[in-house]
Amino acid sequence: MSKSLVIVESPAKAKTIERYLGDNYVLRSSIGHIRDLPSGTIGVNVKDNFKPLYVNMPGKEKIVRDLKSQAEKADRVFLATDPDREGEAIARHLAHILNLDPYDSIRISFNEITAGSVRKAVEEPRPIDMDLVNAQQARRILDRLVGYELSPLLWQKIRKGLSAGRVQSVATRLIVLREREIEAFVPEEYWLLSAYLRREAKEKEFFSRYHGEVEEGKVKAHRPGSHEEVSDLIKDIKSHDFIVDEVKKGSRQRKPYAPYTTSTLQQDASRVLGFTAKRTMRAAQQLYEGVELGASGQTSLVTYIRTDSVRVSQSSVEAAREYIKLKHGADYVPDKAPFYKNKKAAQDAHEAIRPSHFDKAPEDLQDFLTRDQFKLYELIWNRFISSQMKAARYSTLRVDILSGTHLFRSNGENLLFAGWLKQMGLLDLPSQVQKDADDVVSLDMPELKKGMKLLLDRLEPEQKFTQAPGRYTEASLIKEMENLGIGRPSTYAPTISTIQDRQYVEREGRTLFPTELGILVNDLLEDNFRNIVDTDFTAQMEERLDNVEEGKEDWVKVLSDFYGPFHEQVETAKTSVEKIEIPDEPTGRKCPECEEGELVIRMGRYGKFIGCDRYPECKYTETIFEEAPAKCPLCASQVVFRKSKRGRIFYTCDKSNDKDCKFIDWNLPIDGKTCPTCGSYMVERNYRGRKSEMCSNKDCPSRKKTTKKTAKPGTGKVKKAASGKEAAGEDQE
C-alpha cells in the first residue's frame, strides 16, 4: 500500500490533520525551523550577492534523521507548513534536507484546518513559491546584517550585551518620542459649564452644556479659558432667560466591526482581556493548530492567525448567517452580507481570523479549553458572528438652548434595535450618561419644543486642563505600527517582547515607557543611523519586501541598496561617536564585603543593581527592591516590589531574602485591613485599570459567587501561582 509523508511544523497540527487523511498518510512535524543562519557568525557573504550560509539547527539531529527515514519509505512527500513567508521558507529548507525538488508539486497549504480544506490541498499540490522564500530570506538577512553590525558598536560605545534591530529600534523610538511629548507638554486651562434646567419647578432636572456663542445666526464653539472668564460668563447668562432654540430628532446606525486581523485581535485582546501580544498569539496558535475536544478529537477552531486581510469566504458567511438566524432570529440577518474593504497595504493572502467550525460555539467547548483559549476563542467567535449581523439603530436627539447669545447644547440617543450588539453583549453601553465628557450624552430629557422657556436650577463650572498624550499600551503601539506600515502581522508580538527583554522598554500596568538605557540607545541611533529608526524608511523597506514576495523586485538588489550606505555609516560611527559613560549613582553605603569600596547603583544587562565600586576586585552585589506602600501582613516589615522573570510585578516582605518571612502575593496588601468573612488580610486588586479590594484567601466565599467550601480564618498566606491566577486579565506568562 502506497504511503504519503506529510510534514508540518508542530505535533499539535500534525495530530489535527491526521484525523482527516486516513491510514495512507504518515504525519511528522519539524518542530519549527530546521535550518537557519549560524548563531556564532554573521552567516552572510556580503561580497557574493549576500549568499546565506544555512546550517542545520542544533538539537534537531534526531528530527532530521526521522524525517529522512520517513521520506525514504514514502511514495510521496507533502510539505504542509504554514501558509506564509515563514512557512514557505521552512518548506524550502525541508526540501533541501530531504533532497526534494522545490519545483515539483510537493507543497500544500490551507487557510483553515478542516477536513475539506486539508483534502483539497492534498489533491492540489504545487511547487514551493520561491518569491515567498526570497521575501523571507531577504528579511532574515536584512535583520542579521543590522544586528551583527550595529550591536558590536553599541557594546563599544555604551556597554556589552546590547542589541539593535531593524523593527525593534523603530518601535523603541516611537515609545521614546511619546515620552518626549509627555515631558514637553504644557497643560492648558479650560472650563466646562453645565446648566441644570427644568420645564417646571416640580419636574426632574436635566443638564445642558455651554457650547459657545451665536453670532449673526452662526454658531461659534468656545470654551472659557480661565476662572475670570467663566465667572463673567455666568453673570451674563443669569441675566437672560433660557429658551429652547432648536429640537432636532434623528436616527443613526452603528455598523459592526470587520472580522479580526492579527493586529486588531492583539489590540482587542489587550484592551478587553488584558493579554500581552505574546500571550494572545500563543493561545491563538493553539486554537489554530488544534485542541483536544473529547469525542470530537483534536480539532482546529480558528483559521490561520497571521493575516492583515478582512476578507472571508462565501461559505463562512453563509454558515454565520444560518447561525444568526437560529440564535437571534431572521430580523438580525441583513438582506445582503456586509462587505469589508482591506487597507491599501493589506496582502490579502489569507482570510480574516474567524471560527473554522460553526457548530462549535464557545459555550459548548468551555470544559475543553484553557482559560486563555476560551476567552480568545469567544472573542474571535463573537467578532466574526457580529460582523455578519445587521447594524444597531438609535434614535438621536439634539437640543439647543439659548440664554441671550450663549448657546447650551444637549445630545441624547436611545437604542431602537440592538443588531450586532446583541451578539457582543454590549446592550447596556448606549444607556450610560457621560456628564464629565466634553461631548455630553444626556438621555433623561423631557419633551421639549422650540420657544419653550426653561427654569434655571443652577450653573456648575468645572475647571479642566488639557491632558498630555498617554503612553503607549501594547494595543496602541501595535495600532501605530500598523498605521505606519512598520512590521507585519507575524512581527508585532515578537518585536514588543524583544524591546522589553532588552530592557529598552518597561511595562507598568498596561503602559509602556522607555528606560534610561532605551533612551541612550535610541539617541545614539537617531544621531548616527537616522534611516534605521526612521518610520518612513522602515515602511518603505517593508513595502519592498512585499514587492519581493509578489515577484516585482529582486531580493539581492533590495539588500544591496540598503547595505552599502548602512555599512559606511557603521564604519564612520566607530571613530566619530564618543563612548557614552553611564554614571554610577552613589548609595552612601560602604561595601559590607570588602569594607573599602562604596556601594553604587549600576545598570546591568537585566536592569539596575547595587554593586561595589571596586569591581572587579570586589564582586559584591545586591538586588534593588522598591518599597511598596504597605507593611507585611505576616510580620509587619516593609513590603517591596519585585519582578518575575517575565516582568510581572509581585510583592514580598523585605525579609524574604533572609527567609525570615514567607509572604508573597501578586496583589498589594492593604495595611490593617482583614476580611470580615474569613479574617485573612485584604489586598488591592488592579483589574483592567480599575482598583478594587478583595480577600487574599482564594478559598474565601467572598471571592466566589457560589461555593460549598468554608474558608478557614487566617489562611491568607497565598501561594505565588495560585494568587496570580486569580487576577483575571493579568498576564500569567
pLDDT tens, 131-179? 999 999 999 999 999 999 999 999 999 888 888 999 999 999 999 999 9
Residue 325 sits at φ, ψ, to 5 deg, of -60, -45
The whole-angstrom separation of Cα 686 and Cα 590 is: 38
3-class DSSP state of 335: coil
Provide the H-helix boundaries in 607-694: none
Q: What percent of the chain stands above pLDDT 70?
A: 90
Residue 457 neighbours by CB under 8 Å, 6+ apart: 196, 197, 198, 205
pLDDT at 360: 95
pLDDT at 434: 43
pLDDT at 689: 53
The secondary structure of residue 355, as a DSSP letter, is B
The whole-angstrom separation of Cα 176 and Cα 523 is: 9
pLDDT at 437: 52
Cα 21 to Cα 4, 123, 691: the distances in Å are 10, 11, 51
Confirm whether pTM is higher than 0.85: no
In this prediction, residue 727 has a pLDDT band, given cuts at 50, 70 and 90, of very low
Q: Active-site residues: which are they? A: 304
Cα 350 to Cα 86, 112, 216, 495: the distances in Å are 14, 10, 56, 22
Cell of 96: 533541501
Residue 303 neighbours by CB under 8 Å, 6+ apart: 111, 112, 288, 350, 351, 352, 353, 354, 355, 356
127 within 8 A of 105, measured Cβ to Cβ: yes
**In the chain, what are the domains?**
4-128 (3.40.50.140), 137-184+470-576 (1.10.460.10), 189-255+393-465 (2.70.20.10), 262-387 (1.10.290.10), 585-622 (no CATH), 626-726 (no CATH)
531 within 8 A of 164, measured Cβ to Cβ: no
237 within 8 A of 440, measured Cβ to Cβ: no
| Lookup result for grid cell 495512507 | 24
In this prediction, residue 724 has a pLDDT band, given cuts at 50, 70 and 90, of very low
Question: pLDDT per residue over 535-578, tens digit each?
Answer: 999 999 999 999 999 999 999 999 999 999 999 999 999 999 99
Between 337 and 687, whose confidence is greater? 337
The whole-angstrom separation of Cα 74 and Cα 562 is: 44
Average pLDDT in the chain: 88
pLDDT at 433: 41
Minimum mean pLDDT among 126-130, 196-200, 225-229, 631-635: which range? 631-635
The secondary structure of residue 431, as a DSSP letter, is G
The predicted model gives 334-340 an average pLDDT of 94
The predicted model gives 669-696 an average pLDDT of 82
In this prediction, residue 181 has a pLDDT band, given cuts at 50, 70 and 90, of very high
Provide the H-helix boundaries in 348-464: 362-365, 371-387, 421-424
Residue 659 buriedness (CB in 10 A; 0-12 / 13-18 / 19+): exposed
- For residue 634, pLDDT over 90 is answered with no
- For residue 715, pLDDT over 50 is answered with no
The whole-angstrom separation of Cα 15 and Cα 6 is: 11
- For residue 652, pLDDT over 70 is answered with yes
Minimum mean pLDDT among 218-222, 226-230, 345-349, 420-424: which range? 345-349
Cα 682 to Cα 213, 642, 668, 685: the distances in Å are 53, 19, 9, 9
Exposed e or buried b per residue across 604-625, where buried means at least 16 C-beta atoms within 10 angstroms of its C-beta: eeeeeebbbbeeeebeeebeeb
Q: How many other C-beta atoms can be found within 10 angstroms of the C-beta atom of residue 377? A: 24
pLDDT at 640: 87
Provide the H-helix boundaries in 550-641: 555-576
Ordered DSSP codes for 262-331 = HHHHHHHIIIII---HHHHHHHHHHHHH-EE-GGG-EE--B--S--------HHHHHHHHHHHHHHH-GG
354 within 8 A of 259, measured Cβ to Cβ: yes
Question: pLDDT per residue over 573-627, tens digit each?
Answer: 999 999 887 777 888 889 999 888 999 988 776 667 889 988 889 999 887 777 7
The whole-angstrom separation of Cα 127 and Cα 105 is: 4
Question: pLDDT per residue over 238-252, tens digit each?
Answer: 999 999 999 999 999
In this prediction, residue 444 has a pLDDT band, given cuts at 50, 70 and 90, of low
Provide the H-helix boundaries in 529-660: 530-533, 535-549, 555-576
Residue 729 neighbours by CB under 8 Å, 6+ apart: 273, 274, 275, 687, 688
Ordered DSSP codes for 129-188 = -HHHHHHHHHHHHHHHHHHHHHHHHHHHHT-TT----TTHHHHHHHHHHHHHHHHH----
The predicted model gives 460-480 an average pLDDT of 94
411 within 8 A of 401, measured Cβ to Cβ: no
How many Å separate Cα 59 from the centre of its chain? 32
pLDDT at 731: 40
271 within 8 A of 435, measured Cβ to Cβ: no
- For residue 194, pLDDT over 50 is answered with yes
pLDDT at 716: 38
